[in-house]
Structures are given as structure tokens and as C-alpha cells.
Structure 1
Amino acid sequence: MSHIGNAIEKRDNGPEALVRRYKDDLTLVLPSHVKGETWMRLAYGALRSNQQLLQAATRNPGSFMSALQECARLGHEPGTDAFYFVVFGNEVQGIEGYRGVVERIYRAGAVKAVKAEVVYANDHFEYSPDMDRPVHKPNYFSNRGPIIGAYAYGVFQDGSTSKVVVIDRTYIDKVRKEAKGSSSPSSPWVKWEDGMVLKTVAKRLEPWVPSSTEWRKEQLRAAQEVAAERTTAPQEYTAVGAPQDIDEGPIEGELVD
């Protein structure tokens, strides 16, 4: 548990009052693109609009504040599809959704599209490591059968494709088993299994694509420095051309057994 969660467990205060008290701690970890005041209003709203969450946060404010801090660190709006709060008994758990993972990838600016799909037993699906992208032909108007896997890849700004990540049912069940309270009726694994499978495969894609707003800022800063150096360089120096792209062949995918 974070230092905020540990510090407030012993305090007898309402959850909204505690959110206000630790406003500076929460907004300090927000990424630069998020406005602190707006984010705090959304945090208050998430509490006020969900009576079950309010009751759990009152009983266990430490767990709620820890979930809020994780939400702030990731730069998501509290209580949305990007980051939602789930009550397990007397504890509040914050869970980043599929939308949240994809939003972080888009924020970085390196990827112009993210393709992630759930594969069902009756879908036509074909992929091998020598293929640029999978071939997936679902019939949306028929019984597609149970979920058997999922895949994801990113399309970079230049049109090239990232590593393709494919997960099977065995991997999905392993992740679900390790998730806290996954068998509970209130668990997102029970209520929205397809969404959790999409999130799982999107998380597997993360190592292969930038997923941070700060990464984009660093790229812009570096580009500005290069531009400044070029404008101030003495005229007698000849600029060195950029290295040519090297064709490394097809990008292999990753199949998780």
C-alpha cells in the first residue's frame, strides 16, 4: 500500500474530506497534460455518484485513496471506463480498463492506431510470425462461440506495424486466476469478460509501443534542440544527413502459449 494509504488508515474522517486533505499529494503525481482542479472535481463526483463506493471508502478510506493515487499516476479520469473503482467487501480496488491502456498509448503520439480484437471459437483467424498482421474474419451476426484468445498491434505514424501480440485461452485464464476477486459477481471478469480480455492483450502490447505523455514531450524537446542547433550553426559547417532506415525484414509477432 502507498504511503498515503498507510497514513490515513488510522484517521477517522469521511472519504471526501480525506481526498481534499491529500489534494496536493494526488495532483503531484498527475501527468503534465492533466489539470489538477478538473481531476479533483471528477474524484469528488465519483464518490458522490456511487453509494456503494462511498460506503466502502468510508469503511476503508486507505484502500480508496491508494486507488485514487494509482488513477492519478496513470493520468486517467476517476470513475470512468479508463479507470474504474470496484468494491470487494470492505475494500476499494482501482482497475485500469482497456480504454485506459489504449489512451496512454495514443497520448505518447508514436502510434496512430491500435488494433485489438477478441477472437471467438467460430471466427476465422489466421496468424503466423511471418505475417505482417493477422487475418481475422468474425461473423458478427452469428453465434461466435466462446472466447478462445485475442490479439493486438499498433500502427505507427509512418504506417509500419508494431510487434503483433497474440494470447490464447490458457493465458487469459491464468491472468484471470491471478486477479483479485475475479470470481466475485461484482468482478469485471464476470460482468465484462470481453473488455478484460481486450485489456489483457493491450497490456501485453505495451512493451512494444510508447505509452507515456512524457515520452512525447521528450521527443518534441529533442526536435526543438536539433532545430535550434541547425539555426545557430556556423555557415561553413555542412550538416550531416540523417541515417537511412535499415530494412530489418518482417516484424515477428509474439504468441503466448
Structure 2
Amino acid sequence: MSQIGNEIARRDNGPEAIVRQHKDDLTLVLPSHVKGETWMRLAYGALRSNKNLLQAASRNPGSLMNALQECARLGHEPGTEAFYLVPFGNEVQGIEGYRGVVERIYRAGAVKAVKAEVVHQNDHFEYSPDMDRPIHKPDYFSDRGPIVGAYAYGVFQDGSTSKVVVINRDYIDKVRKESKGSNSPTSPWVKWEDQMVLKTVAKRLEPWVPSSTEWRKEQLRAAAEVAAENTSPAATYQAPPQPDLDDEGPIEGELVD
């Protein structure tokens, strides 16, 4: 077979073709804010632009599909800072990034701001449970030293502060150790440690702030039900005026002395 023929065969039977074959299954789970055609183009683009990713996907197309399905379920765009497609040996691993976690929190609509910062050894940092928010004063123009921890909190629409989450270096190292292939040169932990630490603390914040579009849908549904009840005949019904017992005689059946 000629070189051109080999290229056509790879195109028609390779990972991109498999993704194309499962287009309906992938786009079906996308939330309404994501356009299916745009999402698919990004998936194809991620494969075409990363030779190592394409090779891993060719060896293990099932791992690619699992990663893309998780990406679609979360409502992220593949191959972006929201959701990384990373080759690990003979498989593709999908990794949600810090931006992806924060996007899901914003998408829920309950918070108007998310604050997450990495703390370095030489930063000035103060926090205790009786404080509303941490005091963090980094010197961006000097040697801040190694990363020692991170913190995150959300600001709700009414201006109140969510629970403040603080993690230390031991916790960061534990999470990194449990992450598959975290010492690989292609791992986000090696290439973008700050971003992975921010993601780790943002994930710890999730239980304390809504982070799903389903929460927003539930709020809208409840509001619609309340509005419907307020405009229903039962809600607008007014009871007839009661007789004034001082002006009328005794009500039928009432005992009188």
C-alpha cells in the first residue's frame, strides 16, 4: 500500500474516526451551554496537534473514549486548561484542570467569585477559624520559596463568604502521589504544579459551594413552581366575609344560654 493509502487507512480507522463514530453518544451528554460541533472540533484538534496523544489513543482507543465521555459529562472543552487529555504510556487519561473546577462552580450560579491562591514559604499568611478570610501578602518580586500550601473560598451572591479551605504540603504530596503518572514528564504535576495545587484546593472547596448546573436547574424549577402556585386559582381564592356575631343572631347549631 502506498504512503497515501496508509495515511487514508489511519484516518479512516484511527482514533479520530472512532470519535466521529461516537459523536452522538458524546454530544448527547453535553450540557446546553456547550455546542456539540465546537466540542467535536476541539477533540479532533487535540488529537491532531499532539503526536504522543495520538499514539496513545491509537494503542488504547477505549481510554480516549472514557476520557472524552468524562469531559463531556463535566461540560468542559477537551484539550484545554479546563480538561487535559494526557498520554500516559499506552493510554489516554482525562484530567480536569483548575479552570474546569472553577468553571463548574461559577456555572451553578450561587457564587459571584472564587478565590484560590498558592502559598509559598516566604509569603505572609495568616488564618484561623475565627477569621472571615485569610490574610495573604505575597511578595511577587522576590524569591517566594517552595510551595507550602494553598487556600480557597467562595463569595456568595449576597457577599457572604463560604467555608475557607486550607491545605498544607503534606496533603498536596498525598494527592500528587495518588495521581497516576504524576512523575511523568508529560504530567500536569510536572509541567504546571501551581495549577494542579490550585485544582486540589478548589476540589476541597466543592462540598461547600454548589458546583453543578443541576443545582441551578433545581433553583429555576423551584422558582417556577412557586410562581405557578401564586397564580393558580387556589392561590387567588378569597374566602367570603364571615358574619359579625355582634350584629347577627346566633349561628345555627350554636348553643346559647
TM over 0.5: yes
Which whole-Å deviations, capped at 9, do the CAs of 1:28-70 have from their partners, x for residues lacking one?
2222322222211221121122222112211211111111111
Partner of 1:54: 54
Which whole-Å deviations, capped at 9, do the CAs of 1:112-164 have from their partners, x for residues lacking one?
00000000000000000111100101111110000000000000000011100
- What amino acid does structure 2 have at the position aligned with 1:236? Q
C-alpha distance in 2 between matches for 1:46 and 1:218: 34
Partner of 1:76: 76
Partner of 2:199: 199
- What amino acid does structure 2 have at the position aligned with 1:136? H
C-alpha distance in 2 between matches for 1:183 and 1:78: 22
Which whole-Å deviations, capped at 9, do the CAs of 1:58-108 have from their partners, x for residues lacking one?
121111111111101110001000001111112111100000000000000
The answer on 1:212 being equivalent to 2:212 is yes
User: Within 5 Å, which residues of 2 pair with 1:33-52?
Assistant: 33-52=33-52
- What amino acid does structure 1 have at the position aligned with 2:102? V
Query: Following TM superposition, by how much is the alpha carbon of 1:228 offset from its aligned partner in structure 2, in angstroms?
Result: 2.1
Which whole-Å deviations, capped at 9, do the CAs of 1:199-219 have from their partners, x for residues lacking one?
000000001110111211221
Relative contact order, higher structure (CA 8 A, sep 6+) = 1
Partner of 1:234: 236
Identity of aligned pairs, percent? 87
Query: Following TM superposition, by how much is the alpha carbon of 1:230 offset from its aligned partner in structure 2, in angstroms?
Result: 1.3
Larger radius of gyration: 2
Partner of 1:172: 172
**Runs of 4+, deviation exceeding 4 Å:** none
Which whole-Å deviations, capped at 9, do the CAs of 1:171-216 have from their partners, x for residues lacking one?
0000011111111111111111111000000000001110111211
Partner of 2:30: 30
Partner of 1:224: 224
The answer on 1:135 being equivalent to 2:124 is no
Query: Following TM superposition, by how much is the alpha carbon of 1:229 offset from its aligned partner in structure 2, in angstroms?
Result: 1.6
The answer on 1:100 being equivalent to 2:100 is yes
* Structure 2 unmatched runs, 5+: 1-11, 240-257
Per the normalisation by structure 2, the TM-score is 0.85
- What amino acid does structure 2 have at the position aligned with 1:43? A
Query: Following TM superposition, by how much is the alpha carbon of 1:227 offset from its aligned partner in structure 2, in angstroms?
Result: 1.6
User: CA RMSD, aligned part only?
Assistant: 1.4
C-alpha distance in 2 between matches for 1:20 and 1:34: 17
Partner of 1:8: none
Per the normalisation by structure 1, the TM-score is 0.85
C-alpha distance in 1 between matches for 2:238 and 2:125: 59
Partner of 1:162: 162
Q: How many residues align?
A: 226
Partner of 2:243: none
- What amino acid does structure 1 have at the position aligned with 2:157? Q
Which deviates further from its counterpart, 228-237 or 29-38?
228-237
- What amino acid does structure 1 have at the position aligned with 2:190? V
C-alpha distance in 2 between matches for 1:182 and 1:151: 22
Query: Following TM superposition, by how much is the alpha carbon of 1:235 offset from its aligned partner in structure 2, in angstroms?
Result: 4.7
